[in-house]
Amino acid sequence: MSEPLQRGRLLLVPTPLDFGLRDHGPVPALQEILPLGVIRQAAALTHWVAENARTARAFLKRVDEIVPLAQPMQALHIVELPRPVKGAKDRQAPDLDVLLAPALQGQDVGLVSEAGLPGVADPGALLVQAAHRQGIVVLALPGASSLLLALATSGLNGQSFAFVGYLPVEAAARAARIRELEALSRRARQTQLLIETPYRNPALLAALLTHLQPATRLSVSCGLTLPDGWTRSDSVAAWRVGHVPLPADVPAVFALQAA
3-state secondary structure of 248: coil
**What pLDDT score was predicted for residue 91?**
57
- 3-state SS of 166-204? CCCCCHHHHHHHHHHHHHHHHHHCCEEEEECCHHHHHHH
Assess if CATH 3.30.950.10 describes domain 146-257.
yes
Express as a percent the part of the chain with pLDDT over 90.
80
What is d(CA 121, CA 124) in angstroms, rounded to the nearest whole number?
9
The model's confidence at residue 45, banded by pLDDT at 50, 70 and 90, is: very high
What is d(CA 140, CA 192) in angstroms, rounded to the nearest whole number?
24
Question: In this structure, what DSSP letter does residue 71 have?
Answer: S
Report pLDDT digits (tens) over 200-213: 999 999 999 999 99
Angstrom CA distances, 103 to 4, 24, 74, 157, stand at: 13, 39, 20, 39
Q: Residue 101 is which amino acid?
A: A
Report pLDDT digits (tens) over 56-84: 999 999 999 999 999 999 999 999 998 76
Count of other CB atoms within 10 angstroms of residue 94: 15
Closest CA to 256 of 223, 212, 225: 212
- Contact at 8 Å (CB) between 179 and 50? no
Closest CA to 122 of 149, 88, 93, 147: 147
Same CATH topology for 9-140 and 146-257: the answer is: no
Q: What mean pLDDT comes out for the span 155-176?
A: 96
**Of 5-14, 87-96, 119-128, the least confident:** 87-96
The model's confidence at residue 129, banded by pLDDT at 50, 70 and 90, is: very high
Question: In this structure, what DSSP letter does residue 1 have?
Answer: -
Name the average pLDDT for the chain. 91
Helices (H) and strands (E) in the chain, counts: 9, 10
Greater model confidence, 5 or 166:
166
- CATH code for the domain defined by 9-140: 3.40.1010.10
Count of other CB atoms within 10 angstroms of residue 130: 19
Domain-by-domain residue ranges, the chain? 9-140, 146-257
- Contact at 8 Å (CB) between 224 and 17? yes
